Structure 1
């Protein structure tokens, strides 16, 4: 029967990596051919379940012997149990080995453009990847979509594996983890999940934590896994669209565990960073942009990085069609075809947003009241006005019935506070995300 099985093995070898082939295909042995069914023996039931789900589909169009399409039956070693008749519905992993994660080739530290908006997040992930962090190696990245959370998470995983190829690294989304827990509970295999993430995982990259909202059992299992990994000094990277404390229906136990590490926000790129991103991505496409075009695009394309990528694609297409370099007129057309211009941020919009968030009135923040319930929102509004408008200190001061020295003091005070307190940093980051949402939605 090996004359039948060996050619099929070569077919599947060409469709997968050498390491995966050695782990999952070489151990299979051919036990015979019954009518139109090839019988393959596996070391154990977990092995058989994994092979059936992930690798047999690769052979679907090649299972033909002498013009006759055949089937494959997997049986367990020594037990002769037929997998096709005793279907297992198990978590999508084997208990003894984690499949190597598939990372995007573009998502490396070298390809990540660093600026003021993401420097802290970059440094945190770099230190986690090189295992240089003091205390728990847990990093929680949060931002709106398209600002580089997944890029940094995958870059971290890539370096971890380059430094320690033997490391058992798991890269998973909240929805995938939930599916594993639900299936394991249903089939009475929850201990498999517990062992996987508590004992047999050296590093965990966990995306989209906000998707766990309201999923109590899944949250409980994740919180326990974090405890074990943190106590063992293992690296854990989380991503979400909000800080842990602001995710609705996230239980206190898990929120506390997520907050035990380093909580880092990624803000929309500033002008200098947008210019670097545009230049890098254009050159990757073989397109050289003049300083005039780069400056124009950096001024107009605000928001997430996907918007910038969309502009570059448009420029490349137009340059190809016209067979001419991109000039300012071409850049203007591309920007015009994107999703409109963002609304500008002014002090009035900032005051309105801050007052609604902290439930104070604009009269309150212009008053001489010094109670923290009023003073903190006032200082935050001054800080945001300084960061997101071009207004001089004197103009900002007039808007809050203060002089320029008071504004400068407030800006420094807020900057110091958000560097020292994750909670306060989370508040300010949330307001920034709301400002960006307002700008693009109008």
Structure 2
């Protein structure tokens, strides 16, 4: 039996983005530490705004103290051009546990029926409520309930929890590689399929048809299907009739927005996962900061826990309030001017040389090195790098990828970059 949580198979999706973060971790993080991050963390969910990863509680405090989580947050901001935030979910200590079980799911009184139905689905998968549509407004707990269901359905066989956008991208990949038959066999052979955010398939007719086909095939095998959406099936206007009808033949249940008291209880439980002891007033401050929508709770807690004084003062509501007002902490980037100055000094050039239309190796190599370092250590986007060196942003992208690949193949380049980075970090340390 296996439990699979598959991220999207595209550069914008979970695996490529997470791979980019891991490969872009700063040099000051040892290879051993970087390898431990890769081995003991798991992508749980990807949206355009947030990359959610799970980390075992047993490693959480160490990774906070030695800067690994801060490095992940800063690197994600860099590789996503500051469009994506990191959210850390502390997991139970089993390696790569994909989420929390239903037993730890905190439901408001109005959502107790949904929790009871979910428990029934776990006891009797594929029998009475398949497909099951969970719908409700953003932040009502659909994704967390889906994740808990996926965890508890492991006993039934192979489980796939996947975002609708990821499903669509995997289908596109199967079409491109002419492996559609294999794709269908894998999906149709699952014991349970859980699809998050159905509305992401609006305007994607092939994906909708494929999901409808999967629902029909899995109904025949009595497999369990759970889908989340913002609206009930009858109101999914951009969803094809076949898929809508497949959903209407199953069960549906509305998740209601959580009451203030339940939100506070959820915050207390989430903070406790980090090993902190929060006060009720602190939980109330966090709920107020989120405006009653807990969708960003894991992101906000990650920002708070990246600040050591805050971790030690989670009983002080006024301290937490001030910290929340200051916004997220980021690792102090090296100034772009310092990078350009260091590179030109090393190669005996002027900054104007790097910006000039000179294409000789004497200048192009230092220019590419400058672009690489600006990207790696200054949190600059490719357009920002291009603007500083009067080049198109694709030139900066090419330079970064080229040096990232050659760094481990060219001993001379590797030594040059190591030396420059050491000098840059020493200057940053001296300045701070």
Q: TM-score, normalised by structure 2?
A: 0.47
Q: TM-score, normalised by structure 1?
A: 0.46
Larger Rg: 1
Q: Which has the higher contact order (CA 8 A, sep 6+)?
A: 2
